């Protein structure tokens, strides 16, 4: 009889302990489910710091030696035009002096005065503007995107009568570099979106 009572007491204690741990587990599970997922956007406009300008021209004729001599003379005229700006490339100009090259492009009519017609319109020979300083501004943009994501999370937590907890997961999106618009390809718009999961607490 005594043994039966002891077993009953042990069983009751065991059930109480098991109930406590089940409650703790449910509370923990419930807490894990309370997560807010937010995105933070950072944008920046920067001037291009590299330009590639292909100067394309065409000469036609039936006499090959005459055409060869004419092309050489044309090349020398173009080089002479470029040397006024201390640019040493012959046909394709690649430079970090974007504003200077843009000024040269606007003055290329001077070549026309020498009988050299610079052709355009072919997408393979369009002026190309690039921005190569992304690594220099990445930390600043990631910081801004993270701040914007946190501000959204704080607003969500406040609206749901909760407190914002720690970051559970964070994902840095891809940086994109695009022309600001079709008329200003020398101004670049850089974007990054950061996605962050925050825990919510009572």
Each residue of 150-201: pLDDT tens digit? 999 999 888 888 888 888 888 888 899 999 998 899 999 999 999 999 988 8
Which residue has better confidence, 77 or 194? 194
State the pLDDT at residue 22: 43
What pTM was estimated for this model as a whole? Answer: 0.61
The pLDDT > 90 percentage for the chain reads 29
Reported as a pLDDT band with limits 50, 70 and 90, residue 88 is very low
Bridge partners, 128 (sequence order): 52
Each residue of 143-153: pLDDT tens digit? 999 999 999 99
Long-range pairs for 152-161 at CB < 8 Å and ≥24 separation? 152/38, 152/39, 152/40, 153/36, 153/38, 153/196, 153/198, 156/36, 156/38, 157/36, 157/198, 157/200, 160/200
Each residue of 31-43: pLDDT tens digit? 456 888 899 999 9
Residue 89 has pLDDT above 60, yes or no: no
State the pLDDT at residue 16: 52
């Amino acid at each position: 009889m005594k043994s039966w009572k002891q077993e009953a007491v042990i069983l009751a204690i065991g059930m109480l302990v098991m109930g406590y741990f089940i409650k703790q587990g449910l509370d923990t599970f419930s807490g894990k489910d309370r997560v807010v997922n937010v995105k933070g956007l950072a944008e920046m406009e920067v001037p291009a710091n590299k330009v590639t300008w292909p100067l394309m021209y065409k000469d036609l004729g039936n006499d090959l030696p005459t055409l060869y001599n004419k092309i050489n003379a044309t090349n020398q005229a173009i080089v002479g035009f470029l040397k006024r700006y201390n640019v040493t490339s012959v046909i394709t100009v690649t430079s970090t002096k974007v504003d200077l090259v843009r000024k040269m492009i606007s003055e290329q009519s001077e070549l026309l005065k020498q009988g050299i017609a610079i052709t355009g319109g072919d997408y393979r020979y369009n002026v190309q503007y690039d921005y190569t300083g992304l690594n220099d501004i990445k930390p600043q943009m990631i910081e801004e995107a993270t701040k914007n994501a946190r501000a959204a999370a704080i607003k969500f937590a406040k609206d749901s009568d909760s407190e914002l907890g720690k970051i559970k997961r964070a994902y840095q999106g891809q940086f994109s570099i695009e022309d600001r618009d079709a008329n200003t390809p020398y101004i670049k718009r850089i974007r990054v979106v950061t996605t962050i999961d925050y825990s919510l607490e009572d």
